[in-house]
Amino acid sequence: MEIKMYTFEPHGDARGQLVAVEANKDIPFEVKRVYYMYDTTPGVARGHHAHKALEQILICVHGSCKILLDNGKEKETVVLDEPNKGLYISSDMWRVMYDFSPDAVLMVMASTYYEESDYIRDYDEFLKYVESRGE
Ligand code: T46
């Protein structure tokens, strides 16, 4: 499986670091929504779903976490632990976020507004969905 990581150039000076991410330039889509998670309960995993259309970039802007990606055929785990590294997740990809450090803040830039009907929350349904699309 091809993992698409983006490295954003920090604008560092004596005051510290600043990272800017521009839609359709630094990432391949228009950003419609930004959300972030923090204060994650120790030991929990989040996600356990796929999307039909949504594309996203995940940045762990503080702390660290792991992301399990599963396209129905292969699985890969990515560690996010740098605030200027973004993981691209396409639609049709089962994802699980886990192993959050206590200080983790996981920020997500999303290509669409929140839409519950875009979620596939059942793993068997996901496998049938990707198979029906010939993926
Ligand atoms: C994804 C992974 C990486 C909203 O009201 N608006 C939103 O934009 C989002 C993302 C969530 N919510 C509500 C829906 C639930 O009541 O917030 C609650 C928690 O959402 P959820 O259980 O879907 O969160 P995660 O962490 O399992 O998954 C999220 C995204 O939903 C999902 O698209 O790819 O992060």
Report if residue 99 sits inside a domain. yes
User: 11-47, pLDDT tens digit by residue?
Assistant: 999 999 999 999 999 999 999 999 999 999 999 999 9
Report if residue 117 sits inside a domain. yes
User: 55-64, pLDDT tens digit by residue?
Assistant: 999 999 999 9
- DSSP 8-state class, residue 118: G
Q: What CATH number corresponds to the domain at position 64?
A: 2.60.120.10
In the prediction, which pLDDT does 31 show?
98
Structurally, how many domains does the chain consist of? 1
User: 73-89, pLDDT tens digit by residue?
Assistant: 999 999 999 999 999 99
Report if residue 30 sits inside a domain. yes
In one letter, which amino acid is 39? D
Looking at the CA of residue 97, tell me the nearest atom of ligand 1.
3
State the SS3 of 17-46: CCCCCCECCCECCCCCEEEEECCCCCCCCE
Report if residue 16 sits inside a domain. no
Report if residue 39 sits inside a domain. yes
For residue 135, pLDDT over 80 is answered with no
User: 94-127, pLDDT tens digit by residue?
Assistant: 999 999 999 999 999 999 999 999 999 999 999 9
Question: Is residue 59 within 8 Å of 86, Cβ to Cβ?
Answer: yes
Cβ–ligand 1 distance for 120 under 6 Å, the answer: no
Cβ–ligand 1 distance for 69 under 6 Å, the answer: no
- Report the alpha-carbon distance of residue 88 to residue 35 in Å, rounded: 15
Report if residue 15 sits inside a domain. no
Q: Structure pTM? A: 0.96
In the prediction, which pLDDT does 101 show?
98
Confidence band (pLDDT; 50, 70, 90) for 66?
A: very high
Cβ–ligand 1 distance for 95 under 6 Å, the answer: yes
Domain extent, residue 127, equals 4-10+22-132
Report if residue 17 sits inside a domain. no
Coil vs helix vs strand at 111: coil
